Structure 1
C-alpha cells in the first residue's frame, strides 16, 4: 500500500501520469460528481485548472493494513477561477491530511481529506465578515 499511496500522490494528484488512477482507484471510490477514477480525476483536474502548477509533497506517510494516512504540503499559483475567487496570480502554500482505505484487491476505495482551505482563501486575499457583524457605517 505504501507504493500505491505514493503513486496516488505523484501520478494522480500532481498530474504527471493520470492514467495511473485507473490502476489505483476502485470503481466505487467516491469522487466529484461520479464514483471511480473519473470522479477522483475530475476533482484534481478542477483544482489544477485553478492552480496549474499545484504540487503536493508527502511530509509523512503511515500505512497500516488496508489504511493509509498522508500528511502533505501543497503549493501552487492561482491562474484560474477557484470557486468564487477570480484568478489572482497569487502563490499559495498549505497543508493537510488525507486518509485512504484500500479494498481487498489493493485498490483505493475511499479518500477523505482535511486541509487549510481557510488559509488558502486568506492567501488569495479573500476577506471574511463574521456573521452578525454590522455592515452599515456608524452614525
Structure 2
C-alpha cells in the first residue's frame, strides 16, 4: 500500500472541504493524540474539528512541503494558510490571512486506513497573527 499517497490524499480532501471523503480514509477506531481543544480524540471528533476549522478559515489550505514514509507510518512537514473568517477557539473573526507550519505523523492499519495521528502545530505563531498574543520581545 502507498501510505504516502494516502497521506497526501487526506490533505487534498481537507483542502477541498470534503471532510466526509477524508473520513473514508480514517479507521473507525482512529486515535487522535493531539486533538483540537474541546473535540473528542476519535474519528468523529477529528472530522468535527476539521469541519469547524473550515468554518473558521473557509480558504483553509494544507500544502505538503516534505513527506517521508517508512513501514506503517508517514511524516509530513506541512504549510497551512487561511483567512480567519469565523470564530476560532473563542477568537472572533479578524479577517487576518495566516500562515502556520505543522508536522504530522500518521500510522496506518492493515487495511491502509489512518488509525493514529500525532501532530505538532505552531499555535503560538497563529495566535500572534490573530492578535491574541503580542509578538516581539517581552516587556
User: How high is the TM-score relative to the length of structure 2?
Assistant: 0.83
Query: Which deviates further from its counterpart, 80-89 or 38-47?
Result: 38-47
Q: Match of 1:6?
A: 8
CA RMSD, aligned part only? 1.9
Q: Match of 1:33?
A: 40
Runs of 4+ in 1 over 4 A off after TM superposition: none
- What secondary structure, in the 3-state scheme, does the structure 2 residue paired with 1:41 have? helix
Q: Where in structure 1 are there 5+ consecutive unaligned residues?
A: 129-139
Q: Where in structure 2 are there 5+ consecutive unaligned residues?
A: 33-38, 135-139
Per-residue CA distance 1:49-89 (angstroms, 9 max, x = gap):
11111101000000111000010001100010111211100
Q: Name the CA shift for 1:16/1:45 in 2 (closer, same or farther; >3 Å).
A: closer
Higher strand share: 2
Q: Equivalent of 2:72, from 50, 66, 73?
A: 66
**Matched residues, number:** 128
